[in-house]
Chain A
Amino acid sequence: MAVEVLELAHGTDRLVLIGIQRRGVELAERIARLIEQDEGVVVPRGALDITLYRDDLETVGPKPVIGETRIPGDLGGKHVVIVDDVLYTGRTVRAALDELADFGRPERISLCVLVDRGGRELPIQPDVVGTKVKVGDGERVDVLVEELDGRDEVDLVSGK
């Protein structure tokens, strides 16, 4: 995926990786580290918590703990790659696009996800995908990362 991100951005010159809280932040960090090893360049990375840009505050209620949002410098003229663990309805990405727009005007924004599980409710498609999974109704995809969960794993969980 790191190689694909590099190809997408034509190198590291203008590349900025922004992970979506929480697992996306760890994945962005890993991609950045892989690029650093291969290219010897430190890619600016950031974190985005989209909670305050959700469209469902009324129905799900406030999420008690809001994660950190940290944007590395001015995004003007940059190629921002949004990194998240699972792409499902596309609503999180919609919120992330709105939020990024309030931080500046990147030249381009792309989307990189570890798992695409289908089921989109908005016209949003990823540019870089780790794997595609067919998931039935009522099933859930959980991505675990070592930094937060103690192990790396992608689980298909059925039921609620």
Chain B
Amino acid sequence: MTAALGKDLVGLERLSPDQIRLILDTAEPFKEVSERPIKKVPALRGKTIVNLFFEASTRTRISFEFAEKRLSADTVNVAASGSAVQKGETLVDTARNLEAMRIDMVVIRHPSSGAAAFLGDRIRSNVVNAGDGKHEHPTQALLDLLTIRDKHGKIAGLKVCLVGDVLHSRVARSNIWGLSKLGAEVGVCGPDTLMPRGIEELGVCRFRRIEEAIEWADVLNVLRLQLERMEMGFIPSVREYYRVFGVTLERLEKAPRPLTIMHPGPMNRGVEIDSRVADGPHSVILDQVTNGVAVRMAVLYLLAGGRPELADAAKRGAE
């Protein structure tokens, strides 16, 4: 029997449309678990999961931790600061030491693109990518897909525009893969300095003005403007960015139809998004957070199916 998802979840680029749908469908009943008086099921009892975070994260780490605990897994959090990583230990050595303590899964967040795949090829445990550099953040895109499907009842045929810093965004990359695989039309909108070269080759529409994107789209996924980028000269000033690309109430009022507003967080109010929009009736930003736990439960549950033969094969491949 082959595993539904394989050994690791590295990115949506590697998944088939059916695998993506399977995760979304499996997430559906997990939503209800979080509404129970005892928010816990024993599905992953006895499994040990290590959350290995080499980069700051609040929402994603807590969401994974809730997902793990609600499936009854035992969890350990390792942060890069205060660990042997600071003493110069390599990623693989860190993970192999953890494996020597008989763990079952690693959830990894790392500043280098490709870190999750690199690790997955070298250890027996299942690896879940919680964000690697500018590469992918698959569970974020999956929760975005689930939220869009909840709101619109479908994904195929919808027009979804990613707004802002696409260049540095792993969320954008995972979203582009996931949305296109499920048949949505994807647009991107932002300053030229924050657009990766050749973005059109991924089959997305490019909008240079936010007004055009708003006129076109059914859903806006507003990416966080990473403020540290300003010092690096990508944008002249935060105020100018807001004036030109900010998703404001005034701009949305001119839209031909009400737009669903999403944001992966953390939000910079008054920079990429107007507070009145973030808290407005068409915002599903907090639904995204709720769905994040369900999607991560689904991913962990599907990966935990117990596939020693695949883990063995993966390990042999690395030697």
Q: Which residues of A contact B (CB under 8 A)?
A: 49, 51-54, 57-59, 61-62, 64-70, 98-99, 102-104
Contact = CB atoms under 8 A, between A and B. Distances in A.
B301 interface: yes
B82 interface: no
A54 B29 CA distance: 16
B26 A66 contact: yes
B101 interface: no
Residue of B1, B25, B43, B307 with highest tally of chain A CB at under 10 A: B43
Closest 10 CB pairs of A and B: A52-B41, A58-B306, A61-B305, A66-B29, A52-B43, A102-B38, A62-B305, A62-B302, A62-B301, A64-B22
Interface of B: 1, 3-4, 22, 25-26, 28-30, 32-33, 36-38, 40-44, 71, 301-302, 304-307
Contacts of B71: 52
A99 B38 CA distance: 10
6 contacts: A52-B43, A54-B43, A61-B3, A62-B26, A62-B304, A64-B25
Contacts of A98: 42
A94 B305 CA distance: 21
Contacts, number: 60
Among A49, A53, A64, A66, chain B packs the most CB atoms within 10 A around the CB of A66
Contacts of A104: 37
A78 to B, nearest CB: 14
B19 to A, nearest CB: 10
Nearest to B305: A61
Please classify the interface of chain B as helix (H, G, I), strand (E, B), loop, or mixed, using the class held by over half of its residues: loop
Nearest to A67: B29
Given A62-B305, A102-B38, A49 B26 contact: no
Nearest to A49: B29
B29 A102 contact: no
Given A52-B301, A57-B304, 7 more contacts: A53-B41, A58-B306, A61-B4, A61-B305, A62-B304, A66-B28, A69-B32
Nearest to B297: A52
B37 to A, nearest CB: 7
Given A61-B305, A62-B301, A65-B26, A102 B4 contact: no
B37 A103 contact: yes
Nearest to B25: A65
Nearest to A98: B42
A53 B72 CA distance: 11
Nearest to A70: B32
Given A57-B305, A58-B306, A64-B22, A102 B36 contact: yes
Contact of A57 (B28, B30, B33, B43): B43
Given A57-B43, A57-B304, A64 B36 contact: no
A59 B308 CA distance: 11
A40 B71 CA distance: 41
B32 A68 contact: yes
A132 B36 CA distance: 36
Contacts of A102: 36-38, 40-41
A135 to B, nearest CB: 25
Contacts of B3: 61
Contacts of B28: 66
A49 B306 CA distance: 21
Nearest to A58: B306
Given A66-B26, A68-B29, A69-B32, A103 B305 contact: no
A52 B37 contact: no
A52 B4 CA distance: 17
A69 B40 contact: no
Nearest to B44: A57
A61 B29 contact: no
Given A52-B33, A53-B42, A98-B42, A61 B26 contact: no
Contacts of A51: 43
